[in-house]
Amino acid sequence: MAFEQTTPFLLYSDGEGNIFEDETLYAGGRSGWDAGPVPDEDWIPLPEGGSMYELPGRRGIGIDVETGEMRLCDKGWAVAAFIPPAHTGLFIAAYETEEDAPTLPLFCYTAAGWMNDGFYVTALRIEQDIRQEAAGYDDEVIESGVKHFLEAYPKNRLVKHLAENCCLTYHCPAARNFFIGRWECPVPSSPACNANCIGCISFQPQEETIPSTQDRLTFKPTAEEIVEFTVPHLESAPFPIVSFGQGCEGEPLLMWETIAEAIKEIRKHTQSGSININTNGSKPDAVKILCEAGLDSIRVSTNSARKHIYEKYYRPNNYSFEDIVESIKVVNSFGGWTSINYFVFPGMTDSFEEYEALRKLIRETGLKMIQWRNFNIDPDWYLGKIGHTDTGEYMGIKLMMQKIRDEFPELKFGYFNPPMERIKGDFQHDFAHA
């Protein structure tokens, strides 16, 4: 009977962008600081839109096909996968880092392998909404959309920023959807931030060797500029959402006066769609004012439900973990939708300590949704920076999700902010899907 392979072979690169499989080693995975085998059922074919990265100065750790022993691959650099949105990584790539290895840029590094003539990754699809499917973007449609909007709003600095920087330079999926006239429209507004996240994607201090993936907004839009393009979007787009708080800015709550004024003005013109804010949740008092103005939904970003892990990463100015908890409670008290943008890091997120802290956070705040997002950061750099030498016992991301799901059956899982149709309607069906 033909041998059926169930575990992918380890991948390595020649350092020039060429990737090969090593048929003497099965691919493993990493949680926290530990490398080990991955359950066969946790491997899926690399989803469309994913990409493979070679990791300079790092040697892959695999399982010897003959002996079952863990050992290094000395044929080349380690390889990892950047998995596309709507998928959550279950294991980090397993590798050993050499002394002088460069810090890796701000992407996720999911365990990957080769099997059945294809790339495999350790991940699961956590979200059925197709708003950021790679196949859903047509460059010609986007370019004509950009041309149309720039002509329609010639003096609007924000539309110009979204067009030239976000859409055409950073290829931001949310900005591209805006110029196609559908789904979630991004509304960045704040050039400043009151946190100092180690892995900030819009600002990296000079002394760090890695670049921020986007440059931070350099101006403060007016409420008029915001209202001018968001009202037509809410009135015409399918499953419309406008979202304050984007990767190309600081903290939107520092612009609460302008955002409150904009929300009030928007709701004078239309009741359609959802008005959401992606935020670090640092100012519950400002959140209250935004809810009074008409905010429908909040997504608070966090790397952990544990105060000490959160504050070591966010390095907050004049606010604390308790403030972000309070912000979620405030929106719930207004009947709004509440999500956390939960940075998933295998070995940390699924540790027993984190699991207990997350249960407490859900119970305390009445949280409605967890967006299980991949943590885009160099794993060694992150754990080193927060001084975490031992991640403790962990249960596996899949098991943790199941335990949370069993205990909180009303709590929704996903990857994107839900449209009002999904919030008010059938959560399992009322959204953009194939």
Spatial separation of the C-alpha atoms in residues 360 and 59, rounded to whole Å? 39
DSSP 351: B
Site string for ligand SF4, 205-244 (x = CB under 6 A): ----------------------------------------
> Least separation, in Å, of the C-beta of 112 and ligand SF4?
26
Using rule CB under 6 A, residue 90 touches ligand SF4: no
Closer to ligand SF4 at the Cβ: 101 or 195?
Answer: 195
> Least separation, in Å, of the C-beta of 323 and ligand SF4?
13
CA within 13 Å, CB half, 234: 24
Closer to ligand SF4 at the Cβ: 200 or 423?
Answer: 200
Closer to ligand SF4 at the Cβ: 173 or 250?
Answer: 250
> Least separation, in Å, of the C-beta of 178 and ligand SF4?
20
Tell me phi and psi for residue 70, to 5 degrees.
Answer: -80, 135
Tell me phi and psi for residue 124, to 5 degrees.
Answer: -140, 155
Using rule CB under 6 A, residue 197 touches ligand SF4: yes
Query: Judged by CB under 6 A, which stretch of 176-184, 196-204, 336-344, 355-363 contacts ligand SF4?
Result: 196-204
> Least separation, in Å, of the C-beta of 311 and ligand SF4?
12
Count of CB atoms situated within 10 Å of the CB of 323: 19
Using rule CB under 6 A, residue 51 touches ligand SF4: no
Count of CB atoms situated within 10 Å of the CB of 147: 12
Radius of gyration (C-alpha) of the chain in whole angstroms: 22
Query: Judged by CB under 6 A, which stretch of 17-25, 128-136, 198-206, 405-413 contacts ligand SF4?
Result: 198-206
For residue 162, the SS3 value is helix
Residue 110: closest CA among 48, 153, 55? 55
Pick the binder of ligand SF4 from 27, 38, 126, 200 (CB under 6 A).
200
> Least separation, in Å, of the C-beta of 380 and ligand SF4?
20
Spatial separation of the C-alpha atoms in residues 252 and 119, rounded to whole Å? 39
Residue 287: closest CA among 336, 357, 224? 336
Strands in 249-358 per DSSP E: 274-279, 297-302, 337-344
DSSP 110: B
> Least separation, in Å, of the C-beta of 299 and ligand SF4?
12
Number of residues counted as binding ligand SF4 (CB under 6 A): 10
Using rule CB under 6 A, residue 202 touches ligand SF4: yes
Query: Judged by CB under 6 A, which stretch of 106-114, 194-202, 221-229, 335-343 contacts ligand SF4?
Result: 194-202
Using rule CB under 6 A, residue 250 touches ligand SF4: yes
Using rule CB under 6 A, residue 281 touches ligand SF4: no
Using rule CB under 6 A, residue 251 touches ligand SF4: yes
Q: Scan for tokens 């490398």, then name that residue.
A: 35
- Among the residues of 298-425, which ranges form H helices? 307-314, 321-333, 352-365, 379-385, 397-407, 420-424
Closer to ligand SF4 at the Cβ: 197 or 361?
Answer: 197
> For residues 125 and 52, is the Cβ–Cβ distance under 8 A?
no
Closer to ligand SF4 at the Cβ: 196 or 236?
Answer: 196
Which residues lie across from 21 on neighbouring strands? 11
Task: Give the footprint of ligand SF4 on residues 154-193 (CB under 6 A).
Answer: 193
For residue 411, the SS3 value is coil
Residue 63: closest CA among 117, 9, 111? 9
Closer to ligand SF4 at the Cβ: 97 or 190?
Answer: 190
Positions in the binding site for ligand SF4 (CB under 6 A): 193, 195-197, 200, 202-203, 250-251, 280
